[in-house]
Chain A
Amino acid sequence: MAALAVVAAAFILLPLAAVVARVDWPNFLPLVTSDASLTALGLSLRTAAASTVVCILLGVPLALVLARGEFPGQRLLRSFVLLPLVLPPVVGGIALLYTFGRQGLLGRGLEVAGIQIAFSTTAVVLAQTFVALPFLVVSLEGALRAGGQRYEAVAATLGARPGTVLRRVTLPLVLPGLASGAVLSFARSLGEFGATLTFAGSLQGITRTLPLEIYLQRETDADAAVALSLLLVAVAVIVVGVSYRGPGTPSAAPSRTPNAEPAEATR
C-alpha cells in the first residue's frame, strides 16, 4: 500500500525533477527573456486573463442556474457543460473552427458583418474559454450547493429582494469558491495548447502562446523549451498553492452550521 503510494507520488514528482535537472541554469535568464519568449509569455498572460474574465461573466449565471434552478433537461445540460473537461482539446478546436471559422455555423454570418475570428487573438481567448469554463462552473456550483439556500431563505424573510439576496448573501458566501474556480480557469487557459493550435494557429505575437512557443522551440532549441517549461511549472505550482488549501482548512463552502458550535468569546 505505502510502496504503491510512493510510486504514485514519484510518478508525478520525478518528471518535474527531470525538467529542473535538465535546465541550462547559466543561460536560464537569457533563454526566458528572449524576444520570442517574452512575446509568447505576454500573449499567454493577456489571453488567459481575458478568458478568465469571460469565464466569470458566463460561468456565474450558468452555475447559478444549474445550482438553484429547476427545469427540464437540467441534468443533461450539466453533463454537456462538463464535456470540454474530457474532450481532447484538438477536437474542441475543430468544433470551434466549424462554429466560428470562415465557413462555420456562425462564422459565415460574422464574416458578412466584417468580423473574422479564426486565427486571431480572439480565437485564442475563445479556445481557452471553451476548455476552462467547466472548471469555473463546477467549482462554483459545488460552492453554491454546499450551503447558502437557508441563508438565502432567511434573507428573503427579512425583506431582501432576489437581486439583493444574490448581491449581499449568495455571492459573498461563494466568493472563495468563485476565486478558486477563477484561478483554476486561469491556469487551464494558460496551459491551453490543442484547441488553440487547431482553431487559432501559431502566429507569433498574435496566437502563439507560451505552450505553442515551447512546442516550437523544442524542435530547434531544446534548452529554451526546457527553460520555458520550468516557467509554466512554476506558474502551476503557484496556482495550486493559491487555489487548493487542502482538507481541514476553511475553503470554498461555508460550514453547514457555523453558529452551532460554541466559539466562546475569543477576544
Chain B
Amino acid sequence: MTFTLDAVVADRGLDVSLTLGVGETVAILGPNGAGKSTLLSVIAGLVRPDAGTAALDGRPLFHLDGGRTVWTPPHRRGTALLAQEALLFPHLTALDNVAFGPRSAGAGRAAARDAAARWLAEVEATDLAGRRPGELSGGQAQRVAVARALAADPGLLLLDEPMAALDVHAAPLLRRLLKRVLTGRRAIIVTHDVLDAYMLADTVVVLEAGRIVEQGPTREVLTRPRSRFAAGLAGLNLIPGTVTAAGLLPDQAGEGPGGSGAQSSPVTELAGRHEDTPIPGQAGVAAFPPSAVSVFPDQPHGSPRNAFAVTVTDLEPHGDQIRVRAGDLAADITPAASADLSLAPGVRAYFVVKAAAVAIYPA
C-alpha cells in the first residue's frame, strides 16, 4: 500500500520520482520555480504530465509510458488539495463547505453534515459552522479548509504552502493543528519553511529546477544537508569538495564559497571532524553554522583553524547578532564586533572557523 510517482512535464522542466509509504508525510522543499506546485498539480490530476506513471494503493492515477494509456480524472483520485488560500466556496457555510466532500462521495445531506460537524470539531472550528467564508479570518478559513480536505477522506493529502498566506499569529496555530491531524496520515506538503519540515514531515525532498537533488529523513537532511538549498534552510554554511584523511579539499573556486571575490588565496584543505570514517577521494561536504564563524581583518595564525579570504556582500540583523554575508558564506557576530571591524559591503575580511565546528560527511 504505497504511493508511487514517476512524472515528466517537459515544458516546466519537471522530472521526478517519488515513493510514499503508509502514513508517511513528506515535505517538498525548494526555491521558487523549482516545480513544487506543478508536482502537486500532476498528482492531483490538474496538470497532465508528458510521460510517467503513478499509482495510489494499487489504483493507477495515470500511466502514460506506452501500452494502454490510463488517466484517472481528479475527482476519482482521492488526492484532496489544500492550497495557500483556503478557497472555501463563498456561497456555502463553513459546515456545507466541509460537507462538500462527503456529499460528492454520495452521502445524504444529513449524514454529510454529521461528518462535517465531526471534522469541524476536529479542527476546533465548531463555532464557525454557520459562518460564510466572507465572515472568516484567514486563519479560520484555512482551518475550515483543512477540515474540508480531511472530510473527503483522501488517500493522499496534498498541501501547497498552507501557511504561506497566514499572518504570524495564525500560522503557528495551523501548524500545530496540522501536526495533530497529519500524524499517521499520508500527505505531501510543499513549504518554504524549515519549521514545517521539522514539525510535520517524516522525510524531506529537496527539489531544484524540477529535479530531486536530495531526499531522506527530515532530521538527517537538515542537520547534514548535501544541497546548498537545504543548507540555507537549515541555516548552515556548506562547502562541497573531496574528502581527505584530515578534512575536505574544496572544489575549485568560481563555484567555490564566497562567490565573486572570495577565495583569493589558493584552495587549501579544510580541517574538520569526520562524521563517518573518511574515505579519501569521495565527494563530500563541509558544514558549519554561522555562529561558529569569527571575522578578522587579517589572516590569523596558529591552531587548527580554517580561514577564508572573503569580500563582505551584506550585513543584516539576525536576532541580537549581525549576520555578515560574503557570497554563500555567513558569519554571526555581535554588533560591537561588527563596528570594531568597520564591516560594510565591499570590505575584505577573513572568515575563520575552528576545525571542531566543521562537520564533514560524504555527499
Q: Tell me the A residues contacting B by CB distance below 8 Å.
A: 150-151, 153-162, 164-165, 168-169, 172-173, 175, 254, 257-267
CA distance A150 to B139 in the complex (A): 19
Across-interface contacts of B101 in A (CB, < 8 A): 158-159
Closest beta carbon of chain A to B40's beta carbon, Å:
10
Contact of B85 among A172, A259, A262 (CB under 8 A): A259
A168 touching B100, Cβ below 8 Å: yes
Known: A159-B101, A259-B142. 9 other contacts (CB 8 A): A153-B81, A154-B87, A157-B46, A157-B75, A157-B79, A158-B148, A159-B105, A162-B75, A260-B85
Assess whether A159 is in contact with B165, with CB atoms less than 8 Å apart: no
Q: Measured between alpha carbons, how far is A262 from B149 in the docked complex, in Å?
A: 21
Question: CA–CA, A155 to B167, complex, Å?
Answer: 26
B104 near A151 with CB under 8 A, answer no
Q: Which residue of B136, B154, B158 is within 8 Å of A259 (Cβ)? A: B136
Q: CB within 8 A of B134: which of A151, A164, A263?
A: A263
A164–B158 Cα distance when bound, in Å, is 22
Does B73 lie within 8 Å of A156, measured CB to CB? yes
Distance in Å: Cβ of A264 to nearest Cβ of chain B: 5
Residues 79-122 of chain B, each 1 if its beta carbon lies under 8 Å from chain A, else 0? 11101011111110000000011011100000000000000000
Contacting residue for B91 out of A154, A173, A259, CB 8 A: A173
- Contact partner, B104, options A164, A173, A264, Cβ 8 Å: A164
Question: B75, A156: Cβ atoms under 8 Å?
Answer: yes
In the A-B complex, the 10 residue pairs with the closest CB atoms: A156-B74, A160-B104, A259-B141, A157-B81, A262-B137, A159-B104, A259-B86, A158-B101, A172-B91, A158-B152
* Shortest distance between the CB of A209 and any CB in chain B (Å): 37
Contact A262 B138, CB 8 Å, known A151-B89, A156-B75, A173-B90: yes
Q: Assess whether A160 is in contact with B100, with CB atoms less than 8 Å apart.
A: yes
CB distance from B165 to the nearest CB of A (A): 6
Q: Specify which chain B residues have a CB less than 8 angstroms from the CB of A261 in the assembled complex.
A: 138
User: In the complex the two chains form, is A259's CB within 8 Å of B88's CB?
Assistant: yes
Pairwise interchain contact A259-B138, C-beta atoms closer than 8 A: yes
**How long is the Cα–Cα vector from A182 to B89 in the complex, in angstroms?**
24
B residues in contact with A160, CB < 8 Å: 75, 100, 104
Q: A153-B46, A157-B79, A260-B85 are in contact. Are A254 and B105 (CB under 8 A)?
A: no
Name the A residues within 8 Å of B44 (CB-CB): 153, 157
A259 touches B75 (CB 8 A): no
B135 touches A161 (CB 8 A): no
CB distance from B43 to the nearest CB of A (A): 10
The reply to whether the CB of B77 lies closer than 8 angstroms to some CB of chain A is yes
State how many angstroms separate the Cβ of A170 from the closest Cβ of chain B. Answer: 10
Given the known interface contacts A159-B75, A159-B152, A173-B90, the answer about A257 and B85 at a Cβ–Cβ threshold of 8 Å is: yes
A108-B47 Cα distance, complex, nearest whole Å: 49
Q: Is B272 an interface residue (CB 8 A)?
A: no
Our pick among B83, B142, B154 for the contact of A154 (Cβ within 8 Å) is B83
Distance in Å: Cβ of A54 to nearest Cβ of chain B: 26
CB pair A154 B133 closer than 8 Å:
no
Q: Which residues of B contact A262 (CB under 8 A)?
A: 137-139, 167
A-B contact pairs, 30 of them (CB 8 A): A151-B87, A153-B46, A153-B74, A154-B87, A155-B89, A155-B104, A156-B73, A157-B44, A157-B45, A157-B46, A157-B81, A157-B152, A158-B75, A158-B101, A158-B104, A159-B152, A160-B75, A160-B100, A161-B75, A162-B73, A162-B75, A164-B104, A172-B89, A173-B91, A258-B133, A259-B85, A259-B88, A259-B142, A260-B165, A263-B137
Counting chain B CB atoms within 10 Å of each CB, the highest count among A159, A169, A172, A257 belongs to A159
Shortest Cβ gap from A164 to chain B (Å)? 6
Give complex CA distance A241, B267 in Å: 77
CB distance from B306 to the nearest CB of A (A): 47
List, in ascending order, chain B residues with CB within 8 A of A156's CB.
Answer: 45-46, 73-75
Query: Which of B74, B136, B138, B142 is packed against the most chain A CB atoms within 10 Å?
Result: B74
Q: Which of B128-166 contact A (CB under 8 A)?
A: 133-139, 141-142, 148-149, 152, 154, 158, 165
Query: Which of A157, A260, A263, A267 has the most B CB atoms < 10 Å from its CB?
Result: A157
Chain A's closest residue to B44 (CB) is A157
Contact in complex: A157, B74 (CB < 8 Å):
yes
CB distance from B11 to the nearest CB of A (A): 16
Chain B residues positioned under 8 Å from A153 (CB to CB): 44, 46, 74, 81
List, in ascending order, chain B residues with CB within 8 A of A155's CB. 89, 100, 104
Whether the Cβ atoms of A157 and B100 lie closer than 8 Å is no
Shortest distance between the CB of A249 and any CB in chain B (Å): 14
**Residues A264 and B148 in contact in the complex (CB < 8 Å), given A159-B75, A173-B90, A259-B88:** no
A149 to chain B, nearest CB (A): 10
B172 interface residue, CB < 8 Å from A? no
Q: Which residues of A contact B134 (CB under 8 A)?
A: 258, 263
B78 at the interface (CB under 8 A from A): yes
Residues of B within 8 A of A157 (CB): 44-46, 74-75, 77, 79-81, 152, 154, 158
CA distance in complex: A55, B70 (Å): 39
Residues of chain B within 8 A of A161, CB atoms compared: 75, 104
Q: Shortest Cβ distance from A156 into chain B, in angstroms?
A: 4
Residue of A nearest to B81 (CB): A157
Q: Is the CB of A266 within 8 A of B149?
A: no
Give the CA-CA distance A261 to B90 in the complex, in Å. 14
Shortest distance from the beta carbon of A69 to any chain B beta carbon, whole Å: 16
Within the complex, the shortest CB–CB distance from A152 to chain B, in Å, comes to 10
Mask, B186-198, CB within 8 Å of A = 1, is 0000000000000
Q: Bound complex: CA of A158 vs CA of B115, how far in Å?
A: 14
B93 to chain A, nearest CB (A): 13
Cα A267 to Cα B139 with chains together (Å): 17
Bound-state CA distance A160–B101 (Å) is 7
